[in-house]
Amino acid sequence: MRYAERRSTGKADELARVANGDPCRDPCRYSFTGLTGQYVNGRGLEPHRCLEIHRQNWLGARLEVLNNAYPVCRQITGDAFRLLCRDYALAFPSRHPNLHVYPGNFAAWLKDWIQNRSEFADYVYLPDLVRYEWARYRVLEMGDDETFDFTAFARLPKVQKINIRFCMGRAATLISSRFPIHELWLLHTKYAAQGTLEAGQLPEHLLVYKSGEGAAIEFLSEDAARIYRQLAQGSTLINLQAVADTTGFELDAFINRLIELGCITGFKPS
């Protein structure tokens, strides 16, 4: 499967045309008749103009955080990215005081948005790419987790040790996709090589984690991805070992690697 760079495709141009020609999708153009009379104008502006400024600020703040979270999605979709953001803003009004968590539902919403528009079937990979971008963005907003306490772990009696559940780092995220999303991401960043992209081994399992002040990734095998999901779901060590034994997977080495990366930060009794 080959993935060509999509910075100026006809589909993106069509999206841009829709974005520029569909006023019903612009929340800044919605009518708020009946509400304007409740606003007091203290700066010489008419009430409807005050509301228009408020709506522009409301949308602008959300556009800014979405722009920051999804630069590659913005680059691929071009001017149509604004349309996506406006529709998303209508579907998911912000209810959290921290706007940096606002883009979190964008990937799931985008998947439905694309599925309902058959003319954009070429963008079916985009929700997975957005999930990857969100995982990388979250790393930048996360503080440091506690480090794993090896001393306390060594002191546990064996009967307790086999029944512990590991605590996962807050910034660690596993992204699995049938598309080469990391390579697609690279293709649209400063690290891009010119030309087309050849898919590698798929599905792709990417473990995104915090390294220093930025995001780093680890490619996982199918078995490692399966174990990681069970770790994140709170499986006990004895259950993890049972799963690993079915395929000969080296669980101890994998857990030590996750601790080293900061993806496992602690443990708790069952």
Least-confidence region, from 62-66, 180-184, 239-243, 258-262: 62-66
Segment 87-97 mean pLDDT: 75
Q: Which domain holds residue 61?
A: 1-124
Higher pLDDT, 212 or 28: 212
Higher pLDDT, 167 or 92: 167
pLDDT at residue 195 is higher than 50: no
Work out how many domains the chain is built from and give that number: 2
Asked if residues 181 and 129 have their Cβ atoms less than 8 Å apart, the reply is yes
Q: Domain ends where: 64, 95, 124?
A: 124
Q: Domain ends where: 104, 124, 144?
A: 124
Q: Are residues 4 and 115 in the same domain?
A: yes
Cis peptide before 203 (omega within 30 of 0): yes
Q: Are residues 192 and 93 in the same domain?
A: no
254: CB partners within 8 A, 6+ apart: 224, 227
Alpha carbons 138 and 129: distance in angstroms, whole number: 14
167: CB partners within 8 A, 6+ apart: 264, 265, 266, 267, 268
Task: Specify the pLDDT at position 42.
Answer: 46
Task: Specify the pLDDT at position 57.
Answer: 55
Q: Domain ends where: 106, 124, 142?
A: 124
Residue 194: band (very low, low, confident or very high) from pLDDT cuts 50, 70, 90: very low
For 234, the enclosing helix (H) or strand (E) is none
Task: Specify the pLDDT at position 6.
Answer: 44
Residue 188: band (very low, low, confident or very high) from pLDDT cuts 50, 70, 90: confident
Q: Are residues 108 and 188 in the same domain?
A: no
Residue 94: band (very low, low, confident or very high) from pLDDT cuts 50, 70, 90: low
Alpha carbons 174 and 138: distance in angstroms, whole number: 13
Q: Are residues 189 and 87 in the same domain?
A: no
Nearest to 84 by CA among 145, 151, 153, 15: 15
pLDDT at residue 65 is higher than 80: yes
pLDDT at residue 160 is higher than 60: yes
Q: pLDDT (tens digit, 9 = 90+) per residue, 129-138?
A: 999 999 999 8
The per-residue pLDDT of the chain, averaged, comes to: 78
How far lies 85's CA from each of 33, 171, 183, in Å?
Answer: 24, 24, 24
Q: Are residues 131 and 230 in the same domain?
A: yes
Q: Are residues 56 and 81 in the same domain?
A: yes
